[in-house]
A and B are shown apart, each in its own frame.
Chain A
Amino acid sequence: MRKRAFAAAFAAALILAAGSSAPTFAQSIYGINYIGEHAFPGSARYRALGLSSYALIDSSCAIPANPAAMADLTRVTFSLVEIMSVSNVRSGSESANVSRFQIPSVMFGVPVRKGLVLGFGYLTQFSGKGDFAFDYPIENGATAREIHRFRCGLFNVPLTVAWRPVPWARVAGAYRIERGSIENAYQVDFRKDLYSATESKRVRSFSGSSWSGSTLLNLHPRLQLGLGWNSGVSYEGDETFTYTRAEFDSVAAWRFDLTSAWEAGASFGINERWWVSGHFWQRSAPDTRGFEQLTGSIGDERLAALGIERRGGGEGGFFMRAPLRLGYYENRWHLEYPAGRPVDSRFITFGSGFGLPGGPGQVDLSLEFGQIGSAGNNGVDERVVRMAIGLSVAEAWSKRKVAR
């Protein structure tokens, strides 16, 4: 039964990935200006708690916010998180409704012995998408259409070791293979017979690696602390320019850096079911190398989050037993728009979850309502409804017994 559930979950993951593979990269409208919007890794439960549950022991999920939490996995666990959002963007008198999807983040956690877990998978770190077009009037009454396309995706493949040396402490280290690409395409199209579109395109492809370390301390049965550090990343790669006139094509070396980040979190239980959690994350402003047009417009990024959870219970009806989650977070972007005016995201989150029928596993849902930027401060604001679904399934692996 569990094997079937595991197979069904894996198939669902593939379907979700395939379904979102075309218009995949997506986040805020502000994301077109740098490297996209930051996607903080974590489960749908983490999102429902407003990204606050960094210091949270969770024995059922392979995508915890704090990798050290993986040390509590006792089964081979597969986790997936898919995020979708709809938003209304306003700029002056203009507005646009936008819906977006993101490539699912997936992780496997493999216990090699009690308290020692290896993890690997795929985590989206930044993503952005933009398709926008403007009319360009020309003499003689003709009008051309300028069509811009932006695609950005930074992801990493973490290779994680999580260890619980003593019952009250967990540590984790991860080596991350970092990769990404940023594509800017510009087309001129007249949308008439006998007219052809011309295109200029720049694709930046880059890669790097990073290290991270984290710890999760269970100082008291109702008090948990988490600390984490991520090294910076020096991305190296190239930028390829292609044009309708192929003789203009060129390639140049390109690089940019992300500085190191640190984070801390705490959770404490008011009683057995009610828990409060908090999380703070910060990365200092990276150099603007590679994005010279943003000189003076890149600042520190930070996240401050708070959440409260009523954990699942064993008594009462469905809604009495179901977990309830509520959270709030503020994320200050690296991007300042205009210079000196940071872009802030503010979200209220809700969510719940239920166990996966037929075996160990969990389905979590979250809803986020918030705003990115503000008309007064940034000139553009975006009202966002974001949904996330998380799926975790587990299977105890053992040597196959040969029937005699």
Chain B
Amino acid sequence: MKLKSKYWIAAAFLAFALSCSSDPEGPVSQQFVDDGTYGVKGGDIHRVVLPVTAVTVSVPQGVGTGRLLILGRLQGIEYRAVLLKFDFTLKAEDVGKRISSARLHLPMQVATPREFRLPATFHEMYSTFSDTSSVTEVPPYDPVPIPDSLGMADDTLDIERTEYDIDTSFVNGWISGTREHKGIAIIWDAAAVTDSTISIEMKAREYGSDPPAVRVTFTDGTSATFGSIDDYSVAIFEEPGLNSVGGIARRVAFSYDPAGIPERAMVNAASLVLKVRGDQGFGGAIGEQLVIGYTALFNYYLYAPNSSDTLSSGFLKGTGVDQNVLDPMISRTIKLSLRGYMGDVLRNARANTGLVLQSNLEVFRIQRLSFVSGGADAPYIEIYYSLPADFGGAQ
């Protein structure tokens, strides 16, 4: 028992010592640092704001692989036309038959507002296209619309109708090969409609089922369907301001001058500070969200271009700096991190060619992210940096 009591004394001694904890020593060491006795003085720590010049740069771009075809106007983006192209190859048993009626099948999905009716006309295209083309404006077409079976040219598109009569003579010509089929353009008169948020959305071939089609009935009572082989929504964006728009596309280029920051600065944080204009933001068409399930978040990509010349190809590519997602319809100040990038620029490891913000889904989706361009909320770069500690003597 006596031996055990010795062990207990030693164990208690150790346990007491090992269970002790420490407080931060900062305040009680302050005077050693302040009066130089400690021998190490921290460097100054600063925040600096760099003014930024920002411009919107157009990068001609079109998206032909969307799963919905859209006509209308959404947050400044005008979906001016829908292009359709069909394969009119007949089955063997239909060769030689004549058409008694023809209808253009447009699988409507969403109308905004629901009761909206869009005046539109159908036109033969003068030039062909494909889904993989980058179509940035409405291609040339025959200004004389394709009439319906009654000879009427003007029609209205709405959510309740999916079949539209077209003149059988056009279809007979396309099927027989006597009339070259380069495509049909569905055109609406944007100038005649002043509403800012209107749209008709229909399934595209890429949706995977029930594509746009030309449905015909032959004189013998049989029928045939010719589905689309290419379809396209032609969108136009012409609004001023700082806009990063996917699909169209627009990128925002920022330039700045870091002069005045000390040569020995070590960057703790650097951010490109932007004020988002939620009232101009566009996360995607209603149908894209309700029918397809796309998110309305804007996926941005910030890069340092290889060239600051907006006309050179080097402007379009560069080194990634930051990427993330945000809601383009909420007004707020955002800070895009430049931490590693700015450190490289300040130590001359990277040329200062500015920064470019683009949609990371630029070739897939049409979205819009807009920023305040002037005044107190104009873009700027904020840098927090510290200077190396002063160890005295050689260093």
Residue B42, interface by CB 8 Å? yes
Beta-carbon contact of A33 and B394 below 8 Å: no
A248 contacts B392, C-beta separation under 8 Å: no
Interface residues of B in 326-382 (CB under 8 A from A): 335, 337, 339, 343, 347
Q: Are A133 and B24 in contact (CB under 8 A)?
A: yes
A144: nearest chain-B partner, CB-CB: B45
B268: interface (CB < 8 Å): yes
Q: Is B37 an interface residue (CB 8 A)?
A: yes
Contact of A403 with B by CB under 8 A: no
Interface assignment of B161: CB less than 8 Å from any CB of chain A = no
Tell whether A159 is near chain B: CB-to-CB under 8 Å.
no
Q: Which residues of chain B from 24 to 40 have a CB within 8 Å of any chain A CB?
A: 24-33, 35-40
- A29 adjacent to B29 (CB under 8 Å): yes
How long is the Cα–Cα vector from A79 to B46 in the complex, in angstroms?
54
| Residue pair A91, B27 in contact (C-beta under 8 Å) | yes
Contact of A130 among B20, B25, B35 (CB under 8 A): B25
Let me know if B40 and A202 touch, CB within 8 A: yes
Stretch at the interface among A66-74, A82-90, A107-115, A259-267: A82-90
Q: Is residue A81 contacting chain B, with contact meaning CB distance below 8 A?
A: no
Q: Determine, out of A119-127, A190-198, A276-284, the stretch whose residues face the partner at the interface.
A: A190-198
- Contact residues of B between 1 and 60, Cβ < 8 Å to A: 2-3, 5-6, 9-10, 13-14, 16-18, 20-33, 35-40, 42-43, 45-47
Contact call B22/A99, Cβ cutoff below 8 A: yes
A99 touches B35 (CB 8 A): no
User: Would A98 and B42 be within 8 Å (CB), given that A33-B32, A318-B5 are in contact?
Assistant: no
- For A239, give its contact among B46, B385, B394 (CB under 8 Å): B394
Q: How many residues of A are in contact with the other chain, CB < 8 A?
A: 70
* Interface: A142 (CB within 8 A): yes
Complex CA gap A142/B45 in Å reads 11
Cβ B391 vs Cβ A365 within 8 A: no
Do A29 and B339 touch (CB < 8 A)?
no
Residue of B nearest to A91 (CB): B28
Q: Are B45 and A188 in contact (CB under 8 A)?
A: yes
A315 contacts the other chain (CB 8 A): no
Residue A313 interfacial (CB < 8 Å): no
The verdict on A132 contacting B26 (CB below 8 Å), with A91-B31, A194-B335, A318-B5 known, is: yes
B83: chain A residues at CB < 8 Å are none
For B28, the chain A residues whose CB sits under 8 A away are 29, 89-91, 94-96, 132, 380
Is the Cβ of A365 less than 8 Å from the Cβ of B9? yes
CB distance from B302 to the nearest CB of A (A): 13
- Chain A, 372-404, CB within 8 A of any chain B CB: 379-380, 387, 389
User: Is B29 in contact with A198, judged by CB distance below 8 angstroms?
Assistant: no
Q: Which positions in A face B, CB cutoff 8 Å?
A: 19, 29, 32-33, 84, 86, 89-91, 94-101, 130-134, 136, 138-140, 142, 144, 146, 148, 150, 184, 186, 188-190, 192, 194-198, 200, 202, 239, 241, 243-245, 247-248, 250, 252, 254, 291-294, 297, 318, 337-338, 354, 357, 363, 365, 379-380, 387, 389
19 extra interface residue pairs, beta carbon distance < 8 Å, beyond A91-B29, A245-B347, A292-B393: A33-B32, A91-B31, A95-B28, A96-B22, A96-B23, A96-B25, A98-B25, A101-B17, A131-B25, A133-B24, A138-B47, A186-B40, A192-B269, A194-B339, A195-B268, A202-B395, A245-B343, A297-B37, A379-B31
CB-CB nearest 3 A-B residue pairs: A94-B27, A99-B20, A200-B389
Q: List 23 A-B contacts (CB under 8 A).
A: A29-B25, A29-B29, A91-B27, A96-B24, A99-B21, A100-B22, A130-B25, A132-B28, A148-B33, A184-B40, A194-B335, A196-B339, A198-B266, A200-B388, A243-B266, A245-B343, A248-B264, A254-B394, A291-B39, A294-B39, A357-B6, A363-B6, A365-B10
